Amino acid sequence: MSGTGTDIQTGFLRTLINERKVVWIFLVNGIKLTGQLASFDKYVIALESPTGIQTVFKSAVSTVCEAHAVERPQTGARPAIPPERRTARGRPR
């Protein structure tokens, strides 16, 4: 850590707490947690969600970002069941 007394991580996490932003925390095993940051220290992050407060070790965190809307690409009017698998009634064989 530099002698400035703060670093990028600390500033980022403090801003998320102060602005009460909803965040996504992605863990290294692929799990996504959603909530608002309650606090943090050198080793852990406290995440507040409707189900309670979770303490997450920073070593298990891959990514922290503000929650945002995710647009799914349009797939067109593709049927869920391919035509070759349909019967006369439209159900799979």
pLDDT in tens, 11-34: 999 999 999 999 999 999 999 999
- Longest Cα–Cα distance in the chain: 74
pLDDT of residue 69: 76
Name, in order, each residue with C-beta under 8 angstroms of 83's C-beta and a sequence gap of 6 or more. Answer: none
More confident site: 22 or 87: 22
Structure-token pair, residue 8: 């990028």
* pTM, two decimal places: 0.68
The hierarchical CATH code for the domain 8-68 is 2.30.30.100
Q: Which amino acid is at 58?
A: K
Angle CA 15–41–64, to nearest 5: 50
Query: What is the Rg, in whole angstroms, of the alpha carbon atoms belonging to the chain?
Result: 21
- In DSSP terms, 11 is beta-bridged to none
Q: Which amino acid is at 7?
A: D
